[in-house]
C-alpha cells in the first residue's frame, strides 16, 4: 500500500495557437495530476479505459515513459478515446470544447475486469479522483465507485477529491450537488476552489465553501481563492497560503491539476499542510508559464518536499 491510484479520463488534446494552428497532445485532469506526481517521485497508477487504436497506444507508451503505472487500464476493441480542443485568450484563460460521449472510460465500471480492478484500488495507499471523474459515470457506476472507496478506506487507504467542476458534464445540477456532497463525506482530503463552488452551489464566498466542508466533516481541505492564495484547513487550523505572483502567464491549463500533484506529493513526503500548499502554488506557477497541460521535464521546478519544506 505505497502507491497512489488516480481515476479518470485522458483524452486527445488539441491546443489552438494564435495563428490557428493546432498542437496535438494528451490531457485530462486526473492524468495531468498523475503525471506530475510521477515526476515528483510518487509511485502512481492511472486507472481508466482506452481503445485499441494508435492514439490509445501512444498514450500508454508516453505514460509508461513518465513512470506512470498502466497495469490497471483495460483496452476496449473498436473504441476511441475522447478528444478536446483548448482555445486560450490574451490573458491566458482557456475554454474547452469536447468530443467524448462514447469514450470507453464511461463503461469502466461495467467492464468484465471490474472485480480485479476494484480489488487493486483497495490495495492503494491513496485514491485520487475529481468532479470530472464522477461526471463520467452513470448512477450505478458511481455507486460502485463509492462502494470501492469505502472498502479502500476500511483497508487503510485515503481518498483525495478535487472538486474540478465542469457544468457541461452535469446536465442535472441537483444530481451534481448530491454527488459532490457524497464525495465530501467520503474524502480524507478535499481540494476545492471558490470558482467551482460558485458554479455548483452559487456562492463565491470562501466562508461558504469552508462551512460546507466543515459540515461534511472533511479532515483536511484546501480551498483555492479567486486571488492567488488558498486556505489550508486541518486539525482545527486554518492557514492562508499566498502564492508568488506570476507575471508571464501563458496558459492556465492544468494549473489546478499540478497544484493537486504538488500538494499531495508534499503531504506524502511528510510536509505539513500549509507547506504543502506552498509547494502546490510553486508547481502551478511553473505550469502556467507554458502552453498545454504538460510542461517539458526541463521546466519542472525544484521543490523541497518533506518535513523541512
pLDDT at 308 (0 to 100): 67
CATH dotted code for 4-299: 3.40.1190.20
The tens digit of pLDDT for each residue in 256-309 reads 999 999 999 999 999 999 999 999 999 999 999 997 788 999 999 999 998 865
What is d(CA 40, CA 304) in angstroms, rounded to the nearest whole number? Answer: 10
On the 0-12 / 13-18 / 19+ scale of CB atoms within 10 A, 181 is: middle
Percent of the chain beyond pLDDT 90?
82
Over its C-alpha atoms, the chain yields an Rg (Å, rounded) of 18
Q: Indicate if 257 belongs to the active site.
A: yes
Q: What is the DSSP code (8-state) at residue 12?
A: E
In this structure, how many other beta carbons lie within 10 angstroms of the beta carbon of residue 61?
11
Q: What is the DSSP code (8-state) at residue 302?
A: P
The tens digit of pLDDT for each residue in 218-227 reads 999 999 999 9
Given the residues 29, 162, 251, 257, select the one marked as catalytic.
257
What is d(CA 39, CA 154) in angstroms, rounded to the nearest whole number? Answer: 29
The tens digit of pLDDT for each residue in 8-63 reads 999 998 888 888 899 888 889 999 999 999 999 999 999 999 999 999 999 999 99
Q: Which sequence spans correspond to the domains of the chain?
A: 4-299
Amino acid at each position: 500500500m505505497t502507491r497512489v491510484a488516480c481515476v479518470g479520463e485522458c483524452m486527445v488534446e488539441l491546443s489552438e495557437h494564435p495563428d490557428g494552428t493546432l498542437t496535438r497532445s494528451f490531457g485530462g485532469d486526473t492524468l495531468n495530476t498523475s503525471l506530475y506526481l510521477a515526476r515528483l517521485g510518487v509511485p502512481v497508477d492511472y486507472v481508466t479505459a482506452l481503445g485499441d487504436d494508435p492514439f490509445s497506444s501512444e498514450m500508454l507508451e508516453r505514460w509508461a515513459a513518465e513512470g506512470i503505472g498502466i497495469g490497471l487500464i483495460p483496452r476496449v476493441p473498436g473504441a476511441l478515446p475522447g478528444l478536446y480542443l483548448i482555445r486560450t485568450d490574451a490573458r491566458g484563460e482557456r475554454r474547452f470544447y469536447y468530443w467524448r460521449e462514447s469514450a470507453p472510460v464511461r463503461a469502466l465500471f461495467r467492464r468484465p475486469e471490474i472485480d480485479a480492478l476494484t480489488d487493486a484500488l483497495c490495495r492503494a495507499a491513496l485514491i485520487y479522483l475529481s468532479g470530472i471523474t464522477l461526471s463520467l459515470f452513470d448512477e450505478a457506476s458511481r455507486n460502485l465507485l463509492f462502494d470501492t472507496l469505502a472498502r479502500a478506506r476500511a483497508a487503510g487507504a485515503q481518498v483525495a477529491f478535487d472538486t474540478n467542476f465542469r457544468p457541461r458534464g452535469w446536465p442535472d445540477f441537483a444530481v451534481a450537488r448530491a454527488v459532490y456532497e457524497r464525495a465530501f463525506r467520503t474524502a480524507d482530503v478535499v481540494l476545492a476552489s471558490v470558482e467551482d463552488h460558485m458554479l455548483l452551489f452559487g456562492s463565491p464566498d470562501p466562508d461558504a465553501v469552508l462551512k460546507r466542508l466543515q459540515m461534511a466533516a472533511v479532515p483536511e481541505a484546501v480551498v483555492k481563492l479567486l486571488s492567488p492564495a488558498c486556505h489550508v484547513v486541518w486539525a482545527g487550523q486554518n492557514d492562508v497560503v499566498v502564492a508568488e505572483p506570476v507575471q508571464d502567464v501563458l496558459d492556465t491549463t492544468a494549473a489546478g491539476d499540478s497544484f493537486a500533484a504538488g500538494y499531495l506529493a508534499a503531504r506524502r513526503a511528510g510536509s505539513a499542510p500549509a507547506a504543502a500548499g506552498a509547494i502546490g502554488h510553486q508547481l502551478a506557477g511553473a505550469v502556467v508559464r507554458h502552453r498545454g497541460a504538460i510542461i517539458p521535464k526541463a521546466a519542472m521546478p525544484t521543490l523541497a518536499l518533506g518535513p523541512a519544506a
